[in-house]
Structure 1
Amino acid sequence: MDWYSTVFEVIDMRSFSNLWFWIVLAVVWSSASHWVLGVPFDMVARARRQGGQAAQDLEDLVRINTNRMLFIVDEAGLWLAALGSAFLTGLALLGFVYGIELAQAVFLLAFPMTGVGLLSIASARRIQSGEGQGEALHRRLRLHRMLTQFIGMLSIFVTALWGMYQNLSIHVL
């Protein structure tokens, strides 16, 4: 038995039966729900609880991040949309038409994160148009986090179903 076949026997290189894929999936969604518009959510809770300097720091950090995000969207949004669409279309074709499991796994990670990105842009626009202070900001950030968690739960559920289907169909054949 040669070295390569031994390694590929020990480490399953298929995506959905690989423990590392599931770890990455958990870390991606955990990070996405913790970092709301680039701000750690514990900072939102602390600002709401303590007020004062903590609230001012939160408002400043959200203002900086939303201004940066909206600048990028306004300057290069069309190009980013075109490249993102091409990337997702390529992954979908490679994964679901040509049956490449790695492309399926990356698509099932990237597609829902695109939804979170669009949600972030919408939240940034609302914050910039008047919800950037006080209770309105806290409410917007909580809503953004809750919607991100909902997208994450749905994504993990769909990915788990597809992964189980892939693992069962490959092992049955």
Structure 2
Amino acid sequence: MDLTKTLFEVIDMRSFSNLWFWIMLAVIWSTASHWVLGVPFDMVARARRFGGQAETDLHDMVRINVNRMLHVAHVAGTVLLAALTFVLSSLVVLGFWYWVEFAQAVALIAVPMSLVGALSLRLARRIAAEAPQGDALRRRLARHRFATQAIGMVSIFVTAMFGMYRNLTVVPGF
């Protein structure tokens, strides 16, 4: 029995025709838009609505996550950027030059998510430098969430159009 043949029979590597790929895509973007800089967005809404301790909790969570992100970027940023660049360029080349469908599917998720990650790091640096409080902080987090949702909508649309194209042009049996 050939292990790789059995594995590929059990796990459908044709991503765009697989329901689990589309569920994963929705979960990834839903999670990305809910967690803004590692802070659940319901904390932002609660801080706006109730103030007081909820506002203090929001500031503490943002401070902790901003410091954590900036520390990781400072300590391992160059290595992580090099690894991310290698992985993303490998996925793009495998997917769109060699036409590997699994690499296409992963690239259509990973490339826009890397843009969201870059925007998150940029926001973390701005928050650390300017230390906004109260309404100014909530507005920045809400704008970042809106940008994440916009990137997600465009990404899902492009992925859906490309996935439909791939499904319509695939030769049955291959």
Query: Fold-level match, TM-score > 0.5?
Result: yes
Q: Which residue matches 2:105?
A: 105
Say yes or no: does 1:18 pair with 2:18: yes
Whole-angstrom distance in 2 between the partners of 1:77 and 1:10: 38
Moved over 6 A (4+): 4-11
2:93 corresponding residue in structure 1: 93
Indicate the SS of the match to 1:89.
helix
In 2 relative to 1, CA 11–114 (structure 1 residues): closer, same or farther, beyond 3 Å? closer
Q: CA 1:91–1:11 in structure 2 vs 1: closer, same or farther (change >3 Å)?
A: closer
Specify every segment of 5 or more residues in structure 2 that has no aligned partner in the other structure, as ranges.
none
SS at match of 2:16: coil
Q: d(CA) in 1 for partners of 2:6 and 2:58? A: 52
Residue 13 of structure 2 aligns to a residue whose secondary structure is: coil
- Residue identity in the other structure for 1:78: T
Alignment-derived partner of residue 84 in structure 1: 84
Percent identity of the aligned residues?
A: 63
CA contact (8 A) 1:70 1:124 kept: yes
One-letter code aligned to 2:73: V
Q: What is the alpha-carbon root mean square deviation over aligned residues?
A: 2.0
Contact 1:48/1:55 (CA < 8 Å) preserved in 2?
yes
Q: Displacement, 1:35? A: 0.4
Shift of 1:99: 1.1
Q: Match for residue 41 of structure 1? A: 41
Aligned-pair CA distance for 1:13: 3.5
1:131 shift after superposition = 3.9
TM-score, normalized by length of structure 2? 0.91
Q: Please tell me the residue identity of whatever aligns with 2:29.
A: W
